[in-house]
């Protein structure tokens, strides 16, 4: 039974593999035009959007078509095959260039400002410390539809938000993998991880550039 389920899962994954974009090649004018128009629509919205810029190995946030936050797409724990699988699944045979973020999970984080400093400031401003504090993530995960995931890790040691919740989510991910889940893991500097984590919320448009 298990073998049958696995076989169906693998078959489904194979069937989803689109042949439309040759890796390393240029886009056809039709696809390039669709991508440009998609980005123009995102720029028109006036909202920031996330760009997974695979050809330039960059992770960007753009606002009105302009890069406002740029960092290297530094992949770890995954090889080129994971990225290829992720991009194929994301673009669905060059039909979709943009997907909204579907969810976010923070595994572990460190508080940015010492409590002793915030205690003084919060008293002076008469505001709660929590309002001024920022979580610097050690690890968080961004979800898109169809089991697409990107883990972001940074080189700090954080405190788990909930060990049980983290384990349950890991177990769910492991169970989904045979059924076509695609995950990449990127390493960011702590400041960048903080920005990306705070900026990312369900609905944030994500544009994939993939040649």
Partner 1 sequence: MKRLLWILAIILPLALTGLWFYGRSVAPVIIEANHHLASADTAAFRLPSDPKAAKRELQRAQKALTALRPKGLYVVIDTHANLLYLRTQDSVLMKATCSTGYGGELTDSTTGRKWIFNTPQGVFKINSRVENPWWRKPDWAFIEEGEKPPDDPRERYDSNMLGKYALGFGNGYFIHGTLYTRLLGVAVSHGCVRLGNEDLDFLFKRATYGTPVYII
Q: Which residues, 110 to 169, sit near partner 1 by CB under 8 A?
A: 112-113, 117-118, 121, 125-127, 131-132, 134, 141, 143-145, 162, 164-165, 168-169
With respect to partner 1, which residue has the nearer C-beta, 7 or 68? Answer: 68
Tell whether residue 22 is a contact of partner 1 (CB under 8 A): no
**Segment near partner 1 (CB under 8 A), from 7-15, 60-68, 72-80, 176-184?**
60-68
- DSSP conformation letters of 61-113: EEETTEEEEEEE--EES--HHHHHHHHHHHHTTTT-SEEE--EEEEEEEEESS
Beta sheet of 148-154, edge-to-edge order: 75-76, 182-188, 148-154, 135-144, 103-111, 159-160
Chain centroid to CA 149: how far? 6
Chain centroid to CA 120: how far? 36
Pick one of 6, 7, 36, 76: the residue that binds partner 1 (CB under 8 A).
36
Q: How far is the CB of 150 from partner 1 (least distance, A)?
A: 13
Residues that bind partner 1 (CB under 8 A): 29-34, 36-43, 46, 48, 61, 63-70, 94-100, 102-105, 112-113, 117-118, 121, 125-127, 131-132, 134, 141, 143-145, 162, 164-165, 168-169, 171-172, 191-192, 194-195, 198-199, 202-203, 205
């Amino acid at each position: 039974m298990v073998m049958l389920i696995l076989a169906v899962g693998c078959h489904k994954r194979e069937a989803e593999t689109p042949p439309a974009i040759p890796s390393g090649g240029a886009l056809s004018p039709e696809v390039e035009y669709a991508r440009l128009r998609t980005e123009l629509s995102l720029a028109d919205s006036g909202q920031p959007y996330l760009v997974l810029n695979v050809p330039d190995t960059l992770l960007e946030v753009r606002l009105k078509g302009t890069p406002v936050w740029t960092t290297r797409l530094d992949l770890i724990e995954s090889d080129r095959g994971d990225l290829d699988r992720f991009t194929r699944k994301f673009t669905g045979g060059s039909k979709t260039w943009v997907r909204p973020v579907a969810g976010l999970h923070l595994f572990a984080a460190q508080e940015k400002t010492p409590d002793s400093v915030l205690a003084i400031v919060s008293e002076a401003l008469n505001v709660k410390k929590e309002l001024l504090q920022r979580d610097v993530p050690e690890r968080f995960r961004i979800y898109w539809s169809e089991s697409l995931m990107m883990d972001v890790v940074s080189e700090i040691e954080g405190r788990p938000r909930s060990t049980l919740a983290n384990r349950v989510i890991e177990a769910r991910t492991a169970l989904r993998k045979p059924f076509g889940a695609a995950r990449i893991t990127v390493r960011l500097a702590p400041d960048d991880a903080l920005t990306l984590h705070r900026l990312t919320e369900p609905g944030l448009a994500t544009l994939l550039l993939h040649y």
